[in-house]
Structure 1
Amino acid sequence: MMGTMRDDEPLTLDVATAPQAPPSPASDTGGPGPGPAPWVRRLVVVGLVLAAVNLRPAITSLGALLKEVRDGLGMSGTMAGLLTSVPAACFALFGFAAPRLARRHGPGAVVLAGMVAITAGLLLRPFAGATPVFLAASALALAGIAVSNVLMPVIVKRYFPDRVGTVTGVYSMALSLGTALAAAVTVPLTDAMGGSWRLGLGVWAALAAVAIVAWLPLARDRSASAARPVAVVTAGRAAGERTGTPHALAAGEHGSILRSRTAWMLACFFGLQGTAAYVTMGWMPQIFRDAGISAGQAGLLLAVTMVMGVPLSFVLPPLAARMRSQGPIVVVLGAFQVAGFAGLWAAPAAAPYLWALLLGIANCAFPLVLTMIGMRSRTGAGVVRLSAFAQSTGYLISIPGPILVGTLNQTSGGWGLPIALMIALVVPQVVCGVLAGRNRHIEDEL
């Protein structure tokens, strides 16, 4: 695993290709070689939580201070839109590299490197004197977020193959908590430190540094390397005969994922919900401020939106994991999204907390799609491929949205056209989510 890797080699991540019996609920073993020790699994949960807390403050802290950063660096509306699209661009670019890095060094080592990159980027960003330098420092932090984003579902599948929904809910809840925390306290912290947006953004590097400590002992851990493919009974075959044969698994590992309709629908759903999320995180505070709401209250409203993910991210993934199709959840979240954007369009200052609440519920499409990624493949290797493809392609899809919103706002002089665009995008988002939520596995399509 630590040697060189050819481009035509199958995408695997220490996953046994021979069929094995499914693991017993009472045991951490069940495949060739020992399973992870209980203390390792507990440490993985702590590491997942600390990593997840750091996957959004670099973005939402900037959203709360976007006006100050624009004034300080002399950004136009289009350039500010580009800045809000940098996360998606970095997530796409570096997300594609995550599987190869994980093959060579192990997912724990890559996540550790991601936490180091986040810390370094957040430390460097306050020293930027011009927009290009600020973008470069942001890109460094976002590169670390990108590889960690892709590998979170992989690590969950690797260490907790029988608890995908529950553990996904735990780290999704932590992600929402970190997002909300940065949105809520960035402005007050900035005011307390003299009003400098540079200090207000740079302080979040300390939180990322804490996560480095947790991932140091996990960087070399290989105790879950003998992850077992999940045996699945196929209709029409005799009881006990499984599709998880070497032939079926080889097809899933070697076949081009571009041929999977489910993978494409997941990527499109991921991209469209990501567009809405980044427009919300990057532009919603500005919409409220343009409506006459103070900077502090606008940051608090963004925190309300983000904090909704804390309880819902804990409830939604286990619920979705128990359903054969996740389409109904997709439709409900889409309805909340339309209602929230419609409120921002019609009267942003009339009921700002209601609009923030509705959009916060809609943003829970993110933990939902992460859960679906873990459910649409039978093996850990399949989840690696699907997570990298769906997230990286999805982030590519989401890049134009925030830029277009900033451009439309600058050219039209208001928020009517940008918000109308976001409402229109809910339709393809729901369609793709319903199709991605069908009870399918990518191995069957490859």
Structure 2
Amino acid sequence: MADDDLATLGPAAGPRTTSTDQPTDGPEHPQPGPGTAPAAGPAARWLPRLVIAGLVLAALNLRPAITSLGALLEEVRDGLGMSGTVAGLLTSVPALCFAAFGIAAPRLARRWGPGAVVCTGMVAITVGVAVRPYAGGTGGFLAASALALAGIAVSNVLMPVVIKSWFPSRVGPMTGLYSMALALGTSLAAALTVPMTGALGGSWRTGLAVWAAFAAVAVLPWLVVVRQRRAAAGPAGSTTARPVETPVRITASPTAWALAVFFGLQATAAYITMGWMPQIFRDAGVSAGTAGVLLAVTMAMGVPLSFVLPRLATRMRHQGPLAVLLGLCGLAGYAGLWLAPAAGAWAWALLMGISNCAFPLALTMIGMRSTSSAGVVKLSAFAQSVGYLISIPGPLLVGTLYQHSGGWGLPIALMAGLMVPQIAVGVLAGRDRRIEDEG
């Protein structure tokens, strides 16, 4: 990625010291912010806070497009006449879009700046979520969903870059805040979609479209950030210092590959959970409303844990033990879904919620496995794009196995089997290494 990729969204202009590029999190590394730059008026004081607000609002809107659909999947299938296989394809669309569009995020950021790309991503989410219930037929629904997911994809990749560039000495806490907001948005969509649909007249179309209003709010702070950064940079952007980029051949890094596979396997588990867990409980005799609440509990577990886990991870030299612990919780949850899905539903939801915190762990490791913001954007794009590509077959296989076997035994066995290699590559990705030393 070019040196100016991060300058558009980075802290106010001014040279950076070497220490600000380190993913450290302690008092000996004070947070660089406006104070590291020449005085830029009042904006130097409030702009970082606005970035935090934009970060949180964006995170809140990066999953409702997916989990709201999971809560109403049966109604959507009936309304659009989908088979089980097509519904499985629908749950695979997020991973496909994240892989396809996420790889383009660095190039888009180089051309337009990360802030503008994130802002455009929020607009895409708003339009896609608003349009897809009324697009007409399965094809239109998928196309509008792809638009929303494209916005999510580029924002997914660039959020760790925003954190590394604005808060390099607070990677753990800021990743925790971002992950917590993401988990909160996920759980709120899962818990509120069904009751909101009933309150708004009972139409699944309205129940899905209402989340566009929340996405529209997330556009506002990014509009201000982009406008302010462009004004500070001047017409040619010549006032902003360029961070020095260390050449990295990302595909030559074993750590990058381990992170990509770990990210892919945890994404497989997460999107199977978000897409199919409510249906597993409903087929076991749990009501639709309760199934949505159970998914919300699973997602809500990520709210506190996503805040704590990155802080803990940045204080460990090796994050492998955390990957093992989360994987074991996932295996226990799958065992419960196999043996007694309804009787122990709340326990399995809690265990799956803990296991799903592999996502903030992966984000934290992305920020820790490079010494610079430029390296983070390469690693983030590579790990997330390759990872989501790996995750594409999972939800589709689950839908196919469910349709042809007539039950959830084989799909759950598949989920449990994938958790074993996730643990193994998590241990490899957690080693105290940097991609600059490997590639």
Aligned to 2:79: 72
Matches within 5 A, 1:31-430: 37-222=44-229, 226=241, 249-252=245-248, 256-430=249-423
Once the two structures are superposed, what CA deviation does each residue of 1:192-223 show, in whole Å capped at 9, x if it has no partner?
12210000000000000100111111124547
Deviations 1:73-96 (CA, angstroms, capped at 9, x unpaired): 010111000000100000111101
2:35 and 2:386 map into 1 onto residues whose CA distance is 34
Identity level (%): 69
**Structure 1 or 2: more helix by fraction:** 2
Could you tell me how far 1:27 is from its partner in structure 2? 5.0
**Shift in Å at residue 13 of structure 1?**
3.2
The alignment partner of 1:324 has SS state of coil
Give 3-state SS (helix, strand or coil) of 2:225's partner: coil
SS in 1 for 2:202: coil
Could you tell me the TM-score, scaled by structure 1's length?
0.89
Note the residue ranges of structure 2 that are not aligned, 5 or more in a row.
21-28, 234-239
Q: TM-score, normalization: structure 2?
A: 0.91
1:9–1:103 Cα change, 3 Å: closer
Distance 1:139 1:41 in 2: 31
Q: Which residue of 2 is the match for residue 233 of structure 1?
A: none
Report if aligned partners of 1:116, 1:209 keep a CA contact under 8 Å in 2. Answer: yes
- 1:22 pairs, out of 19, 24, 28, with 19
1:203–1:334 distance in 2 versus 1, CA, 3 Å: same
Moved over 3 A (4+): 8-16, 18-21, 29-36, 220-229
CA distance in 2, matches of 1:161, 1:401: 35
Partner of 1:234: none
The number of residues matched between the two structures is: 417
Question: What residue is the counterpart of 1:236 in the other structure?
Answer: none
Shift of residue 329 of structure 1? 0.3
Going from structure 1 to structure 2, the CA distance change for 1:399 and 1:441 (only over 3 Å counts) comes to same
CA distance in 1, matches of 2:420, 2:398: 18
1-side partners of 2:35 and 2:427: how far apart? 34
1:367 to partner: Cα distance? 0.5
Match of 1:246 in 2: none
List alignment gaps of at least 5 residues for structure 1.
1-7, 230-248
Query: What is the alpha-carbon distance in structure 1 between the residues aligned to residue 332 and residue 242 of structure 2?
Result: 43
One-letter code aligned to 1:361: I
**Residues of 1 paired with 2:18 and 2:273: CA distance?**
45
- Counterparts in 2 of 1:105 and 1:352: CA distance versus 1, 3 Å: same
Q: Distance in 1 between matches of 2:127 and 2:6?
A: 28
Q: Distance in 1 between matches of 2:31 and 2:373?
A: 20
For residues 344-372 of structure 1, give each alpha carbon's deviation from its aligned partner in whole angstroms, at most 9, with x where no partner exists. 11110011111000000000000010000
Cα separation, partners in 2 of 1:121 and 1:19, compared to 1, 3 Å: closer
Instruction: Give the Cα–Cα distance (whole angstroms) in 2 for the partners of residues 395 and 26 of structure 1.
Output: 32
CA distance in 2, matches of 1:81, 1:317: 32
> Is the 8 Å Cα contact of residues 408 and 417 (structure 1) preserved in structure 2?
yes
Distance (Å, rounded) in 2 between the aligned partners of 1:436 and 1:411: 36
What is the root-mean-square deviation of aligned Cα atoms in Å? 2.1
